[in-house]
Structure 1
């Protein structure tokens, strides 16, 4: 026997099974390229010039871990489809005299070929696309693009090592399956599991319960602070519920339909229901994987796109003025000096101060209970109920409110004006620290500072009679909160002409002249920082979305091939017992269409129920424009549905070619 016999046999096997190996090889190349690009970008020195570079690089680093873990799981999973289709071939080799150690040698050589091709092509594409992705992310972040071509040796080494480990584990698992199987089992592997599945009511009820619990958490969680930890609980419950319902619930439903004689004993329903019972048993896990991946794509892409598209809204809400100065105490003596220094700094950079605003305020939080705001720390636990009723209170003297808003409101003793930015305050009186205030008027607008306007917790903006009332509340607050109590503060906000560079220059000049304790914010500088953070999240969302879409396509493709070979013989029998080609074609179309679009429909339901929780999580990142998020989510779902339909059209043709008899594929 030639010493190159096994090498040639392994190469021939890959060629002969090109229909199933070629998509797998493309996926290996694609995931290798994606991992290299992500790793290379996280190490790219050019990103160090970006404001917020540490955040961007951290996001890229986390993306590397996600891609690495997902690549391992995904390639391991798709290889199982390959092995399922190859087992009969291996069984035939075994019967013809090839020992299992020789089969292991062939599998080893096939794995080496696939690994070498994947690494060579994947790294070449990765290096070629790396610069393009770098240009894209710098464009998204709004930075100038440096010339030159960057190749990361560390990213190449890491990619070779990572996928070397993944392919080694895949090889060991493949050899294990061959070694533990008997030749007759390998030959009959495709017929495994043909016994009719049983209804599993307990798993079905448990799946419905998990899904209902996950949906309930999403719909009922109101406070974004409570949403963050509960989000992961809801995700886990929905994933478990999805797998249980696809594997057990679908079969239970189909068997209930079969018991309905009026429905079942019709030509168009009889073959569809009976065929789908077996189909769901064999492919339920694959369909659940498609559903979960589709949901992940929709959630990631829609949320990160909303953040990027809504960046201007976030900036405007969070930073209402070009330059904001926050100082402790009142500012009557300091305002003139601040105004003078601001105009001096603006003049030095040839810009003008266009608007100016100053007011004094006090802010603290408490738990709303009827008309009372509870400020007793011992009774304010972090339960979900308490967090949902947590409120920020923002107090401002009447004189400052009238001056800033240009109004002429008046208040008597014990009276207040109130404005609520999210959850309305429905009571007629407000009790704080045992003092009851009568609500004279509910305001339609308020001049709250950016920190409160964009806070994730619902806020009540309250106008009190005078500064003396503010000082009284401050004394009570210190007694309640001790060292955690906030101070009376003042805001000086300025808008200046000029571009972002001019605004940043004025801001830096202004802050260097302070001779008192104060903090400052610059809208332009903060916008560049948030652009880096949101741009990084957007890039990761699109990047991982591409990876999950590729995974979805491959799972669908292999599912169609696997089902095609399993169904071919079944449909031939149907024709022999008297069913016409037209009836069989309708049966095939009904089954394929129903099963194929079931994951998309379920993913849409998941996204709809997840929407309230995701919206509250986005509020933590200062995106409170819910209509924008609705639009982005619908647009992403429609785009994904169109792509899903195209995938169906292409992969269904493969299925029809496999199961077709004379004239059936026409």
Structure 2
């Protein structure tokens, strides 16, 4: 009996190869991707790369997402295959095969299928390991070294994970077969979903949830609020999409059926009737395609922007080759001479340290400014945040910078000619009346000019204005402002050294005297930075994030194509009998083709339309999240978004053309 069961299992896999080919391809690719992520995150050579800890953590996070997505894909594919084999399995029981034998046969099928597909996937993973590791190093802007380390622990981890998945699928299949009678199995493929109830109420609920999610996305003004709002909106959009595909579209089709002038035309009658049936049976599949499409596009936009915009981010964080920050006062505890005296001492001390460390100076800039955290402005009153931050919530925080006119001229080359009681103001999402004086403590300043842009961008690393609403003031002289907040001096140095030499000098500086201070000044804090070191650290993160984004995009795309293909083939088999009947009662081939085209175009491009609509409303909050990371080039974000949409539309259209051919071939096969 065992030999018969084994033979039947092998024969069934070959006989149903059209169903199993996509399942096998997805399983093999999933095993390959899972192995690559596992291997990369445990690659011992990665520890030698600058920022290795960040890269490893990022890869491990991506690995968990990939493994979860893989499990969902295989669950869907298995469900589709078993559903379409329901009649075949039912006939086996009618012909005398006992349930125990049927369960054993499907178990053997699962074992054979998993061994072959996961085995091939692991082999491809091992072959591609060296290449993918080199690509990862390339995206991180690290010297590419072609090394490959096979570790049995990585392979065993992947094998164990897929063993658990297929064990779960075997249990699920066994439960389904055990609870189904022979008659239910024979009719299983033809059973559609029952007619929905309260469709109008569900539609209104779905529209309400979707509108609220869109409102949340459009109402975000601060990058700090963007991430929690984004995740909330994502959950709401997913729920609304499933509700609208389940009830909303059916309600719309029912409305079309009530329009007699439209409905009672041969092509429309057939298309709308079939669409109503399809939506009852495949609404969840279409909604899943819409969600996966949205995830693919957003992942591509985020990954590409983070990677391509990395240089912008570095230029903001480190405007010069070497940067030094000196803090003179904090929370009102002042230790100050005149600004000019302090700057002269710091420039001399910094120059001496650089000279001792073998760093030639080609350019040096010095800016002294006030930096502080303030609450929301009321009646043009700047409210400084006190020492204990009482009375302020996190979302009420604004940032304040005050520069003198000399610093403004050094950054922009423009003169403002301010008097001691005048200010020029740049505001980012901070409301104030430019026609009224701005009050700081006991002092009032008349607004002489409202500045059109943040003049400190790429000049000083004051990146708090990216995260929080900000106010940047320019006064005639800082010594004229009695402001009890942090007063800092920024010194930026450019050098003629190569990047390798800069990194060496920076590491020497960090090792020898990171906390050394000038003896003639009492500082409350100081810090330093290197553009080369920041670039290495940034691309270690953004490169690995971009790498993960590309892989996740491939996984999401693979899942989307799988759902589309299985949905189309399933519907083709269901529609074939109906079209045969209609041709027998007088429907010609031309009308059949027209009806097929209309159905496929509607069903195929409906999820894509939802995906683009979701993206349009998510664009603002997505831009805010990228701004929080440091991507301030809005033109780049928009350009990447448009190209990502165009690229995905092209891929989607290609899948449409391929599956349309398969659909028509199935329809014509009878």
Give yes or no for TM over 0.5.
Answer: yes
How much has 1:102 moved relative to structure 2?
A: 0.6
- Mapped to 2, the partners of 1:635 and 1:77 lie a distance apart of 30
Question: What are the equivalent positions in structure 2 for 1:73-472 lying under 5 Å apart?
Answer: 73-193=72-192, 197=196, 200-329=199-328, 331-341=342-352, 344-345=355-356, 348=358, 351-369=360-378, 371-375=380-384, 377-382=389-394, 386-387=395-396, 390-402=397-409, 405-420=412-427, 427-428=434-435, 429-433=437-441, 435-444=443-452, 446-447=455-456, 449-452=460-463, 455-470=466-481, 472=482
Contact 1:452–1:459 (8 Å) recurs in 2: no
Contact 1:358–1:492 (8 Å) recurs in 2: yes
Local SS of the residue matching 2:50: coil
Counterpart position of 2:580: 572
How much has 1:336 moved relative to structure 2?
A: 3.9
- Mind listing any 5+ residue stretches in structure 1 that lack a counterpart? 475-485
How much has 1:488 moved relative to structure 2?
A: 1.3
Counterpart position of 2:496: 497
Structure 1 residues 194, 359: closer, same or farther in 2, change over 3 A? closer
- Mapped to 2, the partners of 1:434 and 1:152 lie a distance apart of 69
Local SS of the residue matching 1:579: coil
- Do residues 560 (structure 1) and 568 (structure 2) align? yes
- Mapped to 1, the partners of 2:587 and 2:413 lie a distance apart of 83
- Higher mean Cα deviation, 357-366 or 493-502? 357-366
- Higher mean Cα deviation, 77-86 or 438-447? 438-447
Counterpart position of 2:483: 473
Local SS of the residue matching 2:466: coil
- Mapped to 1, the partners of 2:590 and 2:21 lie a distance apart of 33
How much has 1:295 moved relative to structure 2?
A: 0.5
Counting matched residue pairs gives: 642
- Do residues 521 (structure 1) and 529 (structure 2) align? yes
Contact 1:196–1:278 (8 Å) recurs in 2: no
- Mapped to 1, the partners of 2:39 and 2:61 lie a distance apart of 13
Contact 1:286–1:559 (8 Å) recurs in 2: yes
- Mapped to 1, the partners of 2:410 and 2:632 lie a distance apart of 28
Local SS of the residue matching 1:334: helix
Contact 1:421–1:453 (8 Å) recurs in 2: no
- Do residues 609 (structure 1) and 617 (structure 2) align? yes
- Mapped to 2, the partners of 1:397 and 1:195 lie a distance apart of 73
Deviations 1:486-533 (A, max 9, x none): 521111111112322222234345554533452001111101100111
Contact 2:404–2:475 (8 Å) recurs in 1: yes
Q: 2:630 aligns with which of 622, 630, 637?
A: 622
Deviations 1:346-388 (A, max 9, x none): 7x35x44234333243332322345334446554334xxx55x
Alignment TM-score, normalising by the size of structure 2: 0.91
Structure 1 residues 336, 596: closer, same or farther in 2, change over 3 A? closer
Structure 1 residues 92, 434: closer, same or farther in 2, change over 3 A? farther
Contact 1:6–1:106 (8 Å) recurs in 2: yes
- Mapped to 2, the partners of 1:585 and 1:405 lie a distance apart of 66
Deviations 1:607-644 (A, max 9, x none): 11111001000111111111101111111111111111
- Mapped to 2, the partners of 1:615 and 1:655 lie a distance apart of 40
- Mapped to 2, the partners of 1:334 and 1:509 lie a distance apart of 23
Counterpart position of 2:334: none
- Mapped to 1, the partners of 2:305 and 2:347 lie a distance apart of 41
- Mapped to 2, the partners of 1:199 and 1:573 lie a distance apart of 32
Local SS of the residue matching 2:145: coil
Structure 1 residues 129, 156: closer, same or farther in 2, change over 3 A? same
- Do residues 588 (structure 1) and 596 (structure 2) align? yes
- Higher mean Cα deviation, 404-413 or 572-581? 404-413
- Mapped to 1, the partners of 2:553 and 2:226 lie a distance apart of 23
Deviations 1:265-295 (A, max 9, x none): 2222111111100011111101111111111
Counterpart position of 2:544: 536
- Mapped to 2, the partners of 1:363 and 1:503 lie a distance apart of 32
How much has 1:225 moved relative to structure 2?
A: 0.7
- Mapped to 2, the partners of 1:298 and 1:149 lie a distance apart of 32
How much has 1:188 moved relative to structure 2?
A: 0.9
How much has 1:257 moved relative to structure 2?
A: 1.0
- Higher mean Cα deviation, 179-188 or 331-340? 331-340
Contact 1:88–1:187 (8 Å) recurs in 2: yes
Deviations 1:315-342 (A, max 9, x none): 1222211111001125335224334325
Contact 2:364–2:491 (8 Å) recurs in 1: no
Local SS of the residue matching 1:515: coil
- Higher mean Cα deviation, 46-55 or 505-514? 505-514
Local SS of the residue matching 1:450: coil
How much has 1:149 moved relative to structure 2?
A: 2.4
TM-align CA RMSD: 2.1
Local SS of the residue matching 2:348: helix
Alignment TM-score, normalising by the size of structure 1: 0.92
Structure 1 residues 287, 509: closer, same or farther in 2, change over 3 A? same
